[in-house]
């Protein structure tokens, strides 16, 4: 997700009739999602937070409510273009604006991401690097960022989206200069500098079904383990669309691809976009996708948690990236809980009782 326009602190608008959250008969009986997730055996239920909305106090009061979200991911602030905007010049202010309040709120942090093909600074993307030079740049970046955040991250998304949908390696400066070994290098450097307690994840989209891509990722994990390359987890991003989303069985089967390999899994960027205009019927389908995805994680032994890719519709990445789609989150424009929120709450509560 790319950084977009700053959201001003404005009075919260009322939702349109088709966007109204479904009234729930026992709302007062519902604790936050993270409390329910822990009761159901997960480590956390979390959210991503972007810097564009940090001036909205109503939003922040929910984002850093640890009973609702026990884990936080900075959407953008830890990506290369913001951490190292010029060579060997490191800036942590964007990340700190999210990480430090999360620490005060006693929320776990998933840190995101050391290596990606996107959101790279011009000095890096446009450089004429030798293999040795770019290897040094990669190690230097991971060393500085890892040492700054120390052991404060539960997990790091070490490499993000290295494969195309057909299972081939995605074209990037990393692949062109370093070859496919860049993935292995990143994990070795990450382990060297973050310490033993932090989980090292590979993170990708489109692996929430058993398909060519998910099988290639599983093969990579097996190869890494066979060769003692450190890897601890697989993040299934879970960016879904109403009408085309994986079923409960699909997601569960994909998660189960990785369990025999001895790594943990997580749904790391869950959202469910709707083709606009919205309707109550589409919201009901969206709620079922959220519930199915959460339930699949709960029912797979080593799936540790679910993170939504922000929880408030106005700051979702979806409308900018997928024109004609939106309303992908758990809370509507007026920061009211949607049907999807209650569906997740129900499935977590039912399992925890």
Query: In the chain, pLDDT over 90 holds for what percent of residues?
Result: 89
Give the Å distances, CA to CA, from 282 to 19, 272, 273, 295, 327: 10, 11, 10, 20, 10
Residues known to be catalytic: 161, 269
Q: What is the DSSP string of 322-333?
A: STTEE--SSB-T
Contacts of 294 (CB under 8 A, 6+ apart): 267, 270, 306, 344, 347, 348
Question: How far is the C-alpha of 179 from the C-alpha of 259, rounded, in Å?
Answer: 28
235 CB neighbour count, 10 Å cutoff:
26
Question: How far is the C-alpha of 140 from the C-alpha of 119, rounded, in Å?
Answer: 18
The number of helices, as runs of H, and strands, as runs of E, in the chain is: 13, 10
Whole-prediction pTM: 0.92
| Reported CATH class of domain 17-352 | alpha beta
| Chain segment 285-322, per-residue pLDDT in tens | 999 999 999 999 999 989 999 999 999 999 999 999 99
| Chain segment 216-247, per-residue pLDDT in tens | 999 999 999 999 999 999 999 999 999 999 99
Asked if 6 and 327 touch (Cβ cutoff 8 Å), the reply is no
* pLDDT surpasses 70 at 8: no
Q: Which residues of 126-147 are buried (b: 16+ CB within 10 A; e: fewer)?
A: ebebeeeebbebbbebbebbbe
**pLDDT for 12:** 30
**pLDDT for 352:** 64
* pLDDT surpasses 80 at 17: no
* pLDDT surpasses 90 at 26: no
| CA–CA–CA angle 345, 303, 241 (5° rounding) | 60
- Tokens representing 70? 């026990």
- Tokens representing 202? 């590979």
Question: How far is the C-alpha of 127 from the C-alpha of 149, rounded, in Å?
Answer: 27
In this structure, the strands spanning 44-49 and 303-308 are parallel
Instruction: Tell which residue, 244, 310, 341, 303, has the closest CA to residue 24.
Output: 341
Question: How far is the C-alpha of 177 from the C-alpha of 236, rounded, in Å?
Answer: 27
**pLDDT for 30:** 66
Question: How far is the C-alpha of 183 from the C-alpha of 115, rounded, in Å?
Answer: 8
Omega before 277 cis (within 30°)? Answer: yes
| Of residues 29 and 327, more confidently modeled | 327
Question: How far is the C-alpha of 191 from the C-alpha of 213, rounded, in Å?
Answer: 25
| Chain segment 182-223, per-residue pLDDT in tens | 999 999 999 999 989 999 999 999 999 999 999 999 999 999
Burial of 167 (0-12, 13-18, 19+ CB in 10 A): middle
Where are the chain's structural domains?
17-352
Q: What is the DSSP string of 192-232?
A: HHH-SSSEEEEEESS-SSSSHHHHHHHHHHHHHHHTT----
| Chain segment 111-144, per-residue pLDDT in tens | 999 999 999 999 999 999 999 999 999 999 999 9
């Amino acid at each position: 997700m790319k950084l977009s326009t700053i959201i001003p602190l404005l009075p919260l608008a009322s939702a349109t009739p088709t966007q109204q959250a479904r009234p729930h008969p026992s709302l007062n009986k519902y604790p936050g999602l993270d409390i329910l997730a822990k009761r159901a055996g997960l480590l956390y239920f979390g959210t991503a937070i972007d810097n564009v909305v940090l001036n909205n106090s109503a939003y922040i009061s929910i984002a850093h409510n640890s009973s609702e979200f026990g884990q936080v991911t900075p959407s953008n602030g830890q990506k290369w273009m913001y951490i190292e905007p010029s060579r060997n010049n490191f800036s942590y202010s964007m990340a700190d604006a999210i990480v430090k309040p999360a620490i005060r709120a006693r929320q776990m942090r998933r840190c995101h991401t050391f290596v990606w093909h996107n959101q790279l600074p011009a000095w890096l993307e446009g450089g004429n690097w030798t293999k040795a030079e770019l290897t040094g740049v990669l190690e230097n970046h991971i060393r500085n960022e890892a040492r700054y955040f120390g052991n404060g991250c539960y997990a790091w998304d070490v490499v993000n989206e290295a494969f195309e949908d057909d299972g081939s390696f995605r074209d990037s400066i990393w692949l062109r200069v370093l070859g496919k070994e860049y993935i292995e290098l990143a994990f070795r450097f990450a382990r060297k500098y973050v310490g033993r307690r932090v989980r090292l994840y590979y993170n990708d989209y489109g692996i929430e079904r058993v398909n060519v891509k998910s099988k290639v990722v599983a093969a990579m994990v097996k190869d890494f383990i066979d060769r003692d390359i450190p890897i601890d987890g697989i993040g299934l991003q879970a960016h879904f669309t109403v009408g085309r989303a994986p079923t409960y069985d699909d997601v569960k089967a994909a998660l189960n691809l990785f369990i025999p390999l001895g790594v943990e899994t997580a749904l790391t960027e869950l959202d469910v976009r709707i083709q606009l205009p919205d309707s109550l019927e589409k919201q009901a389908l969206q709620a079922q996708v959220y519930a199915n995805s959460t339930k699949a994680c709960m029912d797979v032994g080593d799936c540790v948690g679910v993170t939504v890719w922000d929880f408030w519709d106005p700051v979702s990445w979806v409308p900018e990236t997928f024109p004609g789609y939106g309303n992908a989150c758990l809370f509507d424009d007026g920061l009211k809980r949607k049907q999807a929120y209650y569906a997740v709450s129900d499935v977590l509560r039912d399992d925890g009782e």
